[in-house]
Amino acid sequence: VASFIFNVTFHGIGQPPRKLEPEEQAVWMSQPDFEAILDAVLDRDDVRITFDDGNASDVEIAIPALLKRDQTATFFVVAGRLEKPGFLREADVSEIAAAGMSVGSHGMNHVPWTRLDRAGLHTELVVARQLLERLTGRPVAEAACPFGAYDRRALGQLRKYGYTRVYTSDGGAARVSAWLQPRNTVLRADGPESIERIAGNRPALPTAAAIAAKRFLKRWR
Ligand SMILES: [Zn+2]
């Protein structure tokens, strides 16, 4: 079992069904590029695939592509966008769970969790999760921070509300067991060749010899 994992984040895929926000234009992917990246990580047990924002392409494109390859992923859904044009419908959320995929929360209104008062954070972290749990019939224990934004207070509330894992967009490798999981955003311009950049930079694990040398040095300090 790998000690480190590379979390990758996709957003919308294919022909956009609505006017995109400026920040979405850089991350919305073509279906061929998306599928080529799935193929590139087929034999990588150290890559975890995630999707943010609850776009309709999650069920229209991503789920069939994943099932075809026997891959699994976690979908971070924005609860307050369900049933809006271009986004998932409520029934899609149960379908994602039934397909063997994980459903996590991306909050209620897709706002940064760093600027909210207590009531606002409660809506984002508790009410949104309850809605998703009602649709999946399962506990929703993981969350992804909108815009990758977090601060000590938001993390404190996420812990208090019992989230078992929280995903950011800080990039790089994640320790498998870590509560806070950095993710790597896949960009519109990315293709299979980008995997080396995104998930090729394995951190060096200290070797037994290095640990012994460190202990040896400590004894002399
Ligand atoms: Zn988002």
How far apart, in Å, are the Cα atoms of 197 and each of 10, 26, 105, 110? 16, 17, 27, 28
pLDDT at 220 over 60: no
pLDDT band at 178 (very low <50, low <70, confident <90, very high): very high
Assign 209 a pLDDT band (cuts: 50, 70, 90): low
pLDDT of res. 104: 98
d(CA 200, CA 86): 33
Task: Work out whether the CA dihedral 47, 99, 75, 181 comes out positive or negative.
Answer: negative
Q: Higher pLDDT residue, 221 or 92?
A: 92
Q: Ligand 1: distance of its center to the CA of 106 in Å? A: 7
Instruction: Give pLDDT, residue 210.
Output: 61
Ligand 1: distance of its center to the CA of 20 in Å?
Answer: 12
For 27-75, the pLDDT digits (tens) are 999 999 999 999 999 999 999 999 999 999 999 999 999 999 999 999 9
Measure 23 CA to ligand 1 centroid, in angstroms: 10
- Per-residue pLDDT tens digits for 81-123: 999 999 999 999 999 999 999 999 999 999 999 989 999 999 9
pLDDT, average across residues 13-35: 96
Compute the distance from residue 136 Cα to the ligand 1 centre, in Å. 20
221: pLDDT strictly greater than 60: no
Compute, in angstroms, the gap from residue 146 CA to the centroid of ligand 1: 5
| Cα–ligand 1 centroid distance for 211 (angstroms) | 40
What separation in Å is there between the alpha carbon of 214 and the centre of ligand 1?
A: 42
- Does position 77 have pLDDT exceeding 80, yes or no? yes
pLDDT of residue 198: 85
Distance 138 CA to ligand 1 centre (A): 22
Mean pLDDT for all residues in the chain? 92
- pTM of this structure: 0.90
What is the whole-number distance in angstroms between the Cα of residue 53 and the centre of ligand 1? 5
Quickly state the pLDDT bin for 216 (edges 50, 70, 90). Answer: low
Distance 6 CA to ligand 1 centre (A): 19
List the alpha helices (DSSP H) in 41-151.
57, 63-68, 90-98, 118-122, 128-136
Whole-angstrom distance, CA of residue 26 vs CA of residue 149: 18
Element (H, E) at 181: strand 180-181
Q: What is the mean pLDDT of residues 178-203?
A: 89
Of the CA atoms within 13 Å of residue 163, those in its CB half-sphere come to: 28
Ion ligand 1 residues within 5 Å by Cβ: 52-53, 146
Amino acid present at 35: E
CA 52–ligand 1 middle distance (angstroms)? 5
Count CB-CB contacts under 10 A for residue 37.
Answer: 22
